[in-house]
């Protein structure tokens, strides 16, 4: 079986390639970065005909579409343009190339960011969609393209991914804990659906090779959704960080309103009402469909799954 992987040099793409190779699949890595041995060039913003995408994909049984422009703390006009150009139009081009190449199956990597978390309940795949950011809107539009492609599609909405190589949410949390700049809002009771990077690679790989997963939309995250306080405690234990101070929510809200004013002058200010809202809001995925589809996948508690990345998070 030959599986093409877009964004193969990226964080998630590398894990997908590694898992597929471990199962004996022939992997065809694709990425926009030039000059990497064994990786074919593919730029989602370039002209499809010039790239001859269909030729690059010819002979593959499936493609795992990991490439994309990921979310940013500040979404300016340029970021919104890139979300549209890469996540939407790039996916449109890839789907056309897959059809032209006769590829029957496409796995699309989506995000849990497109759920309406204000509902404060575990989200199943059929409810609570709300494009609150340009990033989420672009992923939702791309999902619609995939579902209407006529291919055997599989869509995976990932929880918060963590592990070696992370440059996103947990990376910033680890830096804040290590430098004593992070404070826990209130009791830290908000629960978060999390996903070890190795499990992200495994589930996406399984979606690519499993014949029975036809036209399947599923949330992908660990069955356990630890609270923010539990997440911090796990970092304290495995990385040797000191426990963060706790500040009552009423005081945090006042500080965040001051941060809103500061952010209007200097975008990216670390504590705003928006940032506090994310920390204090539970983002729990209903993963019953994933567990039914892949009952053989084993899971560890958050603390144990964090241990392989302890040295990485302690050093960033």
Q: What is the CATH number of the domain that holds 106?
A: 3.40.50.720
Query: Can you give the pLDDT at residue 205?
Result: 98
* R_g of the chain computed on alpha carbons: 20
Tens digits of per-residue pLDDT, 36-81? 888 888 888 876 554 567 778 989 999 999 999 987 767 889 999 9
- For 206-233, letters b (16+ CB in 10 Å) and e give bbbbbeebeebbbbbbbebbbbbbbbbb
Phi first, then psi: give them for residue 5, nearest 5 degrees.
-130, 115
In a domain, 274, yes or no: no
In our burial notation (b when 16+ CB lie closer than 10 A, e otherwise), range 141-152 reads bbbebbeebebb
Q: What is the C-alpha separation between 113 and 218, in angstroms, rounded?
A: 14
Higher pLDDT, 52 or 139: 139
Does 65 reside within a domain?
yes
For residue 95, the enclosing domain spans 2-168+193-225+284-303
Q: How confident is the model at residue 15 (pLDDT cuts 50, 70, 90)?
A: very high
Inside any domain, residue 151: yes
Q: Is 198 part of any domain?
A: yes
Structure token pair of residue 191: 């629960």
% residues pLDDT > 70 (the chain):
98
Query: Per the domain annotation, does 28 fall within a domain?
Result: yes
Task: Read off the pLDDT of each residue in 84-93 and give the average, rounded to a whole number.
Answer: 94
Residue 142 tokens, joined: 């791309």
- Structural domain contains residue 95: yes
DSSP secondary-structure letter at 44?
T
pLDDT score at 138: 96
| Residue 144 phi, psi dihedral angles, 5° rounding | -60, -40
Q: What is the pLDDT of residue 128?
A: 79
Please report whether residue 87 resides in a domain: yes
The pLDDT score that the predictor gives to residue 234 is 98
Alpha-helical regions (H) of the chain: 11-22, 48-51, 53-57, 77-82, 91-101, 134-147, 169-178, 197-209, 228-239, 249-265, 273-280, 288-293, 302-306, 310-315
pLDDT at residue 211 is higher than 50 = yes
Q: Is residue 276 part of a domain?
A: no
Mean pLDDT of the chain: 93
Q: 164: helix, coil or strand?
A: coil
Total count of domains within the chain: 1
DSSP state, residue 8:
T
Taking the model in full, what pTM does it have?
0.94
Q: Angle at Cα 94 formed by Cα 90 and Cα 100, nearest 5°? A: 150
């Amino acid at each position: 079986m030959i599986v093409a992987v877009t964004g193969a040099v990226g964080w998630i793409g590398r894990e997908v390639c590694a898992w597929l190779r471990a199962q004996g699949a022939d992997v065809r890595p694709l990425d926009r970065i030039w000059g990497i041995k064994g990786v074919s060039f593919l730029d989602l913003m370039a002209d499809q005909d010039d790239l001859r995408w269909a030729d690059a994909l010819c002979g593959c049984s499936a493609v795992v579409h990991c490439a994309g422009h990921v979310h940013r703390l500040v979404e300016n006009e340029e970021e919104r343009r890139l979300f549209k150009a890469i996540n939407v139009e790039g996916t449109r081009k890839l789907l056309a190339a897959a059809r032209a190449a006769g590829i029957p199956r496409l796995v699309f990597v989506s995000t849990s960011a497109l759920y309406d978390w204000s509902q404060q309940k575990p989200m199943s795949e059929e409810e609570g969609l709300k494009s609150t950011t340009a990033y989420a809107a672009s992923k939702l539009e791309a999902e619609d393209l995939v579902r209407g492609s006529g291919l055997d599609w599989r869509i995976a909405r990932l929880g918060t991914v963590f592990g070696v190589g992370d440059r996103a949410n947990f990376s910033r949390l680890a830096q804040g804990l290590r430098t004593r700049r992070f404070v826990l809002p209130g009791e830290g009771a908000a629960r978060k659906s999390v996903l070890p990077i190795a499990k992200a690679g495994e589930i996406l790989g399984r979606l690519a090779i499993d014949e029975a997963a036809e036209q399947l939309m599923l949330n992908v995250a660990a069955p356990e959704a630890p609270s923010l306080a539990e997440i911090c405690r796990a970092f304290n234990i495995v990385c040797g960080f000191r426990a963060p101070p706790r500040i009552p929510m009423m005081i945090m809200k006042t500080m965040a309103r001051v941060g809103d004013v500061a952010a209007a002058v200097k975008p990216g200010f670390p504590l705003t009402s928006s940032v506090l809202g994310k920390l204090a809001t539970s983002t729990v995925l209903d993963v019953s469909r994933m567990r039914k589809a892949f009952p053989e996948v084993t899971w560890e508690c958050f603390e144990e799954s964090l241990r392989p990345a302890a040295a990485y998070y302690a050093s960033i």
